[in-house]
A and B are shown apart, each in its own frame.
Chain A
Amino acid sequence: MSNYFKVIRPGINSTFQDLGRFGLQHLGIVAGGCMDQLSFCISNKLVGNKISEGALEFAYQGPLLELVGDSVLVAISGKVNFNIIKKNGDTIQGVSNESFIISNGDQIDILSTINSVYGYFSILGGFKLNDVKGSVSTLVRAKIGPNKGDKLKSTDKIFFNRLSKKEKTKKIQFEFEQDNIIRVMQGLQIHYFLKKSQEDFFSKEYKVTKLTDRMGMRLEGQKLENTVNKNIKSEGITKGSIQVPGDGQPIILLSDHPTIGGYPKIANVITADYDKLVQKIPGTNIKFKLVDLAVAESAFQEYIKKF
C-alpha cells in the first residue's frame, strides 16, 4: 500500500525546506532554507529525525492534509492552531511542539499560526524528496528544489519514507521569545547615514509592513537620511543585512535574498535573534539594539543550547 498525504488545501506559502543549499552563492544561488531554524529543528526532533531532515514550512495559514496509508508519527512546531479531523468525523484540537500519531483517513487542518508567521510539519523518517545540489530547500523565485521548485498546490501528493522503527510521541517545552528587541551589529555603510539617522535607527520603533516575505522584510519608520550615496557598487549580500534604499525606509534581507545588491547597509541582525525576527507579523513594532561581535558570539552560544 502506498503511503502519502493528499493535499486538500495547500495553504498560503507552503514549501519544503531544510537548513539550506550552500557553496553556490558565487553562481547566484542563495543558501535559502527554513526561516526559523530553531522551530524547524524542533519539528524534526519531535519525531526522532536528524535535525537537518527536510520538513514542510508553512506561513500564516497552513495546508489541510489527509493521510492515505498506515499510521505514522508526525509533529507540528511553532505557535500553531490546528485540528486533527478523525476519519469518523471527530475533531480534536492539535497541540504544537508535541508529536502525535495520525491514522489512515485522518486529516490535519493547519488553520493558522498564532501571532507569528512560520510553522513546520515533520514526519518520522522524513518526506520523500529529491535533493537539488545537496538540499531539499525550495527557492520558488528560481524554481529550484523539490516539487519542481514550487509551493505546495491542491491535488499534490506528499510521499514519505516509512521506517520500521517505532518512535514514541514526545513533547518539547519551548519558550518563544516574545520581546520586540532585535540585536544588530553595525553595517558596512553605517557612516553613509546622518548621525541623527543612526541614532534614530537604534532608538526608534520600526513597523513590520505587509511587504514581507521569505526574501525580505520592509519596515516603516523614521526616514533615514543618506548623505553619501544612495547606491553602492553591487556587492554580495548576507542574510539579516539591513539595507536602506533611496526612500530612507529599511529593508531586512531574509533567507531567500538576492545574492548581490547595490543599496547601502546600516546594520546586520545577529544570528541569535534571526528566528525571533522572522516570526514578527506585519504591524509589529520592533526596536534595534546595537551590539558588538563579542556580544553576538556569546548570544549565539546561548542560542545553540536550545537545539
Chain B
Amino acid sequence: MLKKISNIGDCGITCDFGDEVNKTINKEVIKLFNFVRDSVKTGKIKGILNYTPSYNKLIINFELGQIKSQQIIEFIKSSDYSKINLNENKNIIEVPICYDEEFALDLKRLEEKTKLNFNEIIKKHIETDFFVYMIGFVPGQPFLGDLDNSLYHDRLDTPRIKINKGSVGIVEKFCTIYTFDSPGGWNIIGRTPFELFNINKKNTSVLSPGDTVKFKSITKEQFFSFKNE
C-alpha cells in the first residue's frame, strides 16, 4: 500500500510504501512504476523526466517549468493503478553462470560461514527463482532476491578495489550481477559471460524491475566460448 507521498527538493517526489523489503511491497512499487511510465508514454501526464523504483519507494523526477509536484501527487492519488496486471510484463530470463573457483572468489569463505559445502551452496543458488527488485546504482545492475536464508551473509569488511564485469555476488538475502568493472563489497560466487547491459542496443537492459532471473550453471569452456548476440 502506498503510505505517503513527499517532496524531494522542488523537482522530485517520493512514493513511500513502508520500510520493509519484501516482494509483496516491491510488486506494489513496480505496479505504480508501470502505471507512471505508461502514463508518460501515452501522454496522459507531461513533464516527468525519470521514474526510479527501489525496494519500497518510487521516486519521480520532473521538469519544474512543465509541471509542479502537487499536480503529480493529485494525478497519482486520483488514479486507480491497482488493476494493472503485473504478470503482463514479467519476463523470465535465464542467466548462464560459471561457478568455477577462478570466478567464485568467496565460495571458500562462504563454505566456512554457512557450514555448507560448495555443491550445496551452488544448488541452493541455482534452484532459486530470483525476482528483480530494482536496477541501478550503475547502469543495468540488478538487485535480485530472495536468496535461501541459509546463504545469508554480510558484506565484505574491506570491499575489493575491482570486481570484474559479470561477477555474481550475494549479500544478506540479495544477489547482484556487476554490469561494469567496479569496486564492491559483495561475496562473489561466480561469473556470467552474458551481457546484461549495452547502451548501444535497442533493448539497453536485458532485465527490468519485476522480471524473474533463473541461473543456469555452465562450464569454464562454455563461459569462454559464450557469444553475446
A132 to B202, CA, bound (A): 10
- Asked if B54 is at the interface of the complex by the 8 Å CB criterion, the answer is yes
Complex contact A300–B139 (CB within 8 A)? no
Contact between A238 and B199 (Cβ–Cβ < 8 Å)?
A: no
Q: Is the CB of B137 within 8 A of A297?
A: no
The smallest C-beta distance from A244 to any residue of chain B, in angstroms, reads: 15
**Given A142-B180, A234-B55, A271-B9, does the pair A24, B50 have CB atoms closer than 8 Å?**
yes
Q: Pick the contact of A25 from B136, B140, B143, B208 — CB < 8 Å?
A: B136
How distant is the Cα of A41 from the Cα of B140 in the complex, in angstroms? 31
Does the CB pair A238–B204 fall under 8 Å?
no
Confirm or deny: B189 has a beta carbon within 8 angstroms of a beta carbon on chain A: no
Residue B135 at the A interface, CB < 8 A? yes
**Contacts known (A25-B51, A300-B65); A271 close to B200, Cβ less than 8 A:** no
Q: Known contacts A238-B8, A271-B64, A304-B65; decide if A259 and B52 are in contact (CB<8 Å).
A: yes
Task: Return chain A residues, CB-CB under 8 Å to B49.
Answer: 20, 22-23, 31
Within 8 A of A (CB), among B108-158: 134-141, 143
Contact between B136 and A28 (Cβ–Cβ < 8 Å)? yes
Q: A28 near B50 (CB under 8 angstroms)? A: no
A252-284 interface bits toward B, Cβ cutoff 8 Å, 1 = contact, 0 = none: 000000111100010011110000000000000
Q: Are A240 and B139 in contact (CB under 8 A)?
A: no
**Neighbouring A residues of B56 by C-beta, 8 Å:** 233, 235
CB B27 to nearest CB in A, in angstroms, measures 15
Q: What bracket does the count of chain B residues touching chain A fall in?
A: 35 or more
B9 and A27 contacting across the interface, CB-CB below 8 Å? no
Report the minimum CB–CB distance from A233 to chain B (whole Å): 5
Decide: B199 and A132 in contact? CB cutoff 8 A: yes
User: Which of B10-18, B90-98, B214-222 lines the interface with chain A?
Assistant: B10-18
Q: How far is the CA of A27 from the CA of B135 in the complex (A)?
A: 5
Contacts A25-B136, A144-B199 given; indicate if A269 touches B9 (C-beta within 8 A): yes
- Asked if residues B204 and A133 are in contact (CB atoms below 8 Å), the reply is yes
Known contacts A25-B51, A26-B53, A133-B204; decide if A185 and B199 are in contact (CB<8 Å).
no
**Which residues of B does A touch, CB under 8 Å?**
6-12, 14, 19, 21, 33, 37, 40, 49-59, 61, 64-65, 68-69, 134-141, 143, 179-180, 197, 199-200, 204-205, 208-209
